[in-house]
Chains A and B, each alone.
Chain A
Amino acid sequence: MVGEQGGTRRMLTGNAAAAWGARLARVEYIPAFPITPQTEIIESLAAWCAGGELAARFVTLDSEHSMITAAGAAAATGCRVFTATSSQGLLYGLEALWTVAGWRVPLVMVNVSRGLAAPITLEPDHNDILAARDSGCIQLHAETCQEVLDSVLLAYRVAEDPRVRLPVIVNMDGFYLSFTREPVEVPTPQQAADFLPEAQGEPEFRASRPLAQGVAVLQGALYSHFRYQMHLAQEAALAVHEEAAADFEQICGRRYGAVEAYRLEDAELVLVMAGSFATKARAAIDVLRSEGKRVGLLRLRMIRPWPAAAVAAALGHRRGVAVIDQNLSPGLGGILFQEVAATLARSARRPGVLRSFVGGLGGKDISLGEFRHVVDVLAAASDSEDLHGSELLFTEADWQQVQSLVQLAQFPETQAVPSDDGRSEVRR
């Protein structure tokens, strides 16, 4: 369990930071369903609700499909709602996610990214959260535990803004953030209250004023209208987030943009990434810079709404840009690359070369050597090449290991080899 009052710097896991975000947001309703590696979030909240530290109702639902529906319905009624899930759970609840986004209700959900089955795994990549890309939910991807907490608070401001009224998903990587403790500044209750007022939305379902929500639309023009309204609300969220981020900076002293730049001013070559693996990129960039390579990082924080203008402005004039996707759309390659490429294709200025890499799938490390490879490819590439597809960041050593495991799986007489590092647990 995680601390008592709030308002100090302390060591928190990403999960604990998410729970603190919900607590400081004074949420009123928490429907839950357990799934690794998110469970610590709901366990902390359950303890606070049962212990009286948080005046919210905590309910264990029978599935994520039910959980997201209950979350949306409570938000439709007028409560401030928080929920959390991960991976398979997010996919199980996907139908409901589209539904509640279409209801245009504000709620905040934390997703702890984890690779998708089959084969089932526990470690992170972003295919789960990107499967929810087109649901209508806003997406903020955190790099640090601090950002997880702060983003939950920011998320309520964006979700509840009358110009937006959409669910917001705050995403963090399983294990790399969810189970990792690092110093986190926990805002005081006063700071949280100054930034995010008490839930005060008009209760929508009430005896004195019947109304019908989430109504069927059996007509193309109407459907187009309402769907496009969601799109416009998403676009509005860019500015709303900017406003909220400015307020947040005033009150808490930390600033968040739709994208974040690292050593970008004079960078010729730019890596584009999302999530906690961007931290690894920073370290690699420092090393490569010390060798005289002008490399920088653009981290995508807001994936929906897509911050096209910011992406174009940051990348248009570079010599080389490499998108390192921690996801894979089989048959296409990296997903975010497509969005970056489409953005740049329509900008006035385009980078000399644009390359796509896929790395960190199922939590596989992206080592300094692999970052070096990406940068070397960029540095050597020329515009004239016609390269399609995405290159997988996968080393000879990885391949050797895989081969020996495949042997073990296929041939009974194979002797056990020093295989993994003991990390053989798989939990749903």
Chain B
Amino acid sequence: MLRIRFHGRGGHGVKTASRIVGTAAFLSGFYAQDSPIYGAERRGAAVAAYTRIDTKPICERGAVAEPDLILVVDETLLADPAAGVRVGCEFASALLVNSGKEGTALATELRLPCPILTLDLTAVVLAVVGRGSAQSAVLGAAACALAGLGPLERVLEAVQRELVELGLEADEQARNLEAARRVYADLSAVPARPRLPASGQVELHRPTLAKGAASRPIILAVGNAAARHTGRWRVFRPVIDQEACTRCGVCFALCPDGAITLDERAYPVIDYENCKGCMMCYQECPVHCISERQEVQAW
């Protein structure tokens, strides 16, 4: 069995990518199974999707913990433990990162127990499809290439089927297909790594009645959500030019997340750990003293 895991953020199109691979495998006569980690994710939050492929019926369900291939849309996810990119890395024949960096450089940087490949999928999408487009087609095509699914025509058929289901316009489909074609041509199948035998040994824990609040779903540490670091969702970073700021308070009033506080002189300060990058402050600042900087190269 071949197990593929996709990591991205809500809006990147990892679910569709997992379906493209599932469809390509299915069209090639394999048994396939694909699923997103959750049905409808918030745009920007870390998400994952899975595809399993086999020559016989698949007797696994749910999350892929021991992937053969890992594809990561957004480099920043590698630094986010909650995204779980590293889970089961040691089983992987390859981990493909969407990045402009050299694979070897990234490999040294990450020190992961699996081969690292890089390909600048975003550059292809920007050049062929357009800014702000999902990565589903190129990601799906990349996974197909790494998995050795083919020929190209079949992969493109799978891409098209899924894009049709999404309701994309014909010209958008055409551009995505072209991008998928390029990515597929750039990659080749990775040799499968000899599989570590599944140990299947666990130690069971026998629960006892916990004391007090630990026995109930109660949070005493109220206001602790800042530890989630929703700033990782951000695509664009709002930056305030203090010189030009008139301290009108508009940005402070309309930040849904309360990620803007006022300092003692009533200047706004952005909490970048948690600003989700909705860019409402940028849009509404009456004197346009908030600018936007691109944070990640994933869209």
Contact B39 A36 (CB under 8 A): yes
Contact A418 B81 (CB under 8 A): yes
Contact B60 A280 (CB under 8 A): yes
**Contact of A382 with B by CB under 8 A:** no
Contact A286 B59 (CB under 8 A): yes
Closest A residue by C-beta to B7: A422
Task: Give 9 CB contacts A-B under 8 Å.
Answer: A10-B26, A11-B34, A179-B35, A179-B36, A180-B35, A181-B19, A181-B32, A284-B200, A372-B202
**Contact of B127 with A by CB under 8 A:** no
**Contact of A384 with B by CB under 8 A:** no
For B22, B48, B59, B63, which residue has the most chain A Cβ atoms within 10 angstroms?
Answer: B59
Q: Provide the A147-172 mask, 1 if CB < 8 A to any CB of B, else 0.
A: 00000000000000000000000000
**Contact of B204 with A by CB under 8 A:** yes
> B37's contact among A183, A287, A418, A422, by CB below 8 Å, is which?
A422
**Known contacts A11-B19, A182-B58; A368/B200 CB under 8 A:** yes
Stretch at the interface among B114-122, B139-147, B212-220, B247-255: B212-220
A421 CB contacts on chain B under 8 angstroms: 37, 48, 63, 82-84, 87
**Known contacts A418-B82, A419-B82; A410/B213 CB under 8 A:** yes
**Contact of A420 with B by CB under 8 A:** yes
Contact A406 B26 (CB under 8 A): no
Stretch at the interface among A24-32, A101-109, A207-215, A395-403: A395-403
**Contact of A75 with B by CB under 8 A:** no
**Contact of A385 with B by CB under 8 A:** no
> A423's contact among B37, B40, B227, by CB below 8 Å, is which?
B37
Contact B221 A409 (CB under 8 A): yes
A393 CB contacts on chain B under 8 angstroms: 204
Contact A280 B61 (CB under 8 A): yes
For B22, B204, B205, which residue has the most chain A Cβ atoms within 10 angstroms?
Answer: B204
CB distance from B129 to the nearest CB of A (A): 23
B83 CB contacts on chain A under 8 angstroms: 421-422
Q: Provide the B186-213 mask, 1 if CB < 8 A to any CB of A, else 0.
A: 0000000000001111111111001001
A398 CB contacts on chain B under 8 angstroms: 205
Closest A residue by C-beta to B218: A409
Contact A410 B214 (CB under 8 A): yes
Measured CA separation A308–B96 after assembly (Å): 52
Measured CA separation A371–B201 after assembly (Å): 10
**Contact of A425 with B by CB under 8 A:** yes
Measured CA separation A396–B279 after assembly (Å): 43
Measured CA separation A409–B46 after assembly (Å): 22
Q: Provide the B29-69 mask, 1 if CB < 8 A to any CB of A, else 0.
A: 00111111111111001111000000000111111000000
**Contact of B101 with A by CB under 8 A:** no
> B221's contact among A283, A414, A425, by CB below 8 Å, is which?
A414
Q: A175-B39, A425-B42 are in contact. List 12 more A-B contacts (CB 8 A).
A: A2-B165, A176-B61, A176-B62, A178-B39, A182-B31, A369-B201, A394-B207, A399-B205, A408-B221, A410-B220, A422-B47, A422-B84
Contact A11 B207 (CB under 8 A): no
For chain A, residues 10 to 39, give those with C-beta under 8 angstroms from any C-beta of chain B.
10-11, 36-37
Contact B61 A276 (CB under 8 A): yes
**Contact of B228 with A by CB under 8 A:** yes
CB distance from A159 to the nearest CB of B (A): 29
**Known contacts A11-B34, A180-B61, A280-B61; A369/B200 CB under 8 A:** yes
Measured CA separation A276–B42 after assembly (Å): 27
Closest A residue by C-beta to B58: A182
Q: B interface, by DSSP: helix, strand, loop or mixed?
A: loop
Measured CA separation A237–B40 after assembly (Å): 38
CB distance from B158 to the nearest CB of A (A): 10
Closest B residue by C-beta to A287: B200
**Contact of B135 with A by CB under 8 A:** no
**Known contacts A180-B33, A410-B214, A416-B229; A175/B62 CB under 8 A:** yes
**Contact of B23 with A by CB under 8 A:** yes
**Known contacts A365-B62, A373-B202; A408/B224 CB under 8 A:** yes
Contact A422 B45 (CB under 8 A): yes
Measured CA separation A367–B201 after assembly (Å): 9
> B202's contact among A122, A176, A397, A424, by CB below 8 Å, is which?
A397
A280 CB contacts on chain B under 8 angstroms: 59-61
Q: Provide the A20-60 mask, 1 if CB < 8 A to any CB of B, else 0.
A: 00000000000000001100100000000000000000000
Closest B residue by C-beta to A393: B204
> B198's contact among A182, A368, A420, by CB below 8 Å, is which?
A368
**Contact of A1 with B by CB under 8 A:** yes
Contact B227 A416 (CB under 8 A): yes
> B207's contact among A183, A370, A399, by CB below 8 Å, is which?
A399
**Contact of A253 with B by CB under 8 A:** no
CB distance from A81 to the nearest CB of B (A): 26
Contact B34 A395 (CB under 8 A): no
**Contact of A255 with B by CB under 8 A:** no
A396 CB contacts on chain B under 8 angstroms: 202-205
Closest A residue by C-beta to B214: A406
CB distance from A188 to the nearest CB of B (A): 19
B35 CB contacts on chain A under 8 angstroms: 175, 179-181
Contact B22 A11 (CB under 8 A): yes
A427 CB contacts on chain B under 8 angstroms: 40
Contact B82 A420 (CB under 8 A): yes
**Known contacts A372-B201, A422-B45; A118/B217 CB under 8 A:** yes
Task: Name the 5 nearest CB pairs between A and B, nearest first.
Answer: A418-B81, A369-B202, A421-B84, A368-B200, A283-B59
CB distance from A405 to the nearest CB of B (A): 10
**Contact of A392 with B by CB under 8 A:** yes
CB distance from A292 to the nearest CB of B (A): 15
> B200's contact among A178, A367, A416, A418, by CB below 8 Å, is which?
A367
B22 CB contacts on chain A under 8 angstroms: 11, 181
B46 CB contacts on chain A under 8 angstroms: 422
**Contact of A277 with B by CB under 8 A:** yes
A370 CB contacts on chain B under 8 angstroms: 202, 204
Contact B61 A423 (CB under 8 A): no
For A40, A182, A277, which residue has the most chain B Cβ atoms within 10 angstroms?
Answer: A182
A416 CB contacts on chain B under 8 angstroms: 227-229
Measured CA separation A181–B175 after assembly (Å): 26
Contact A122 B87 (CB under 8 A): no
A411 CB contacts on chain B under 8 angstroms: 220-221
For chain A, residues 329 to 345, give those with C-beta under 8 angstroms from any C-beta of chain B.
none
**Contact of A119 with B by CB under 8 A:** yes
A36 CB contacts on chain B under 8 angstroms: 39-40
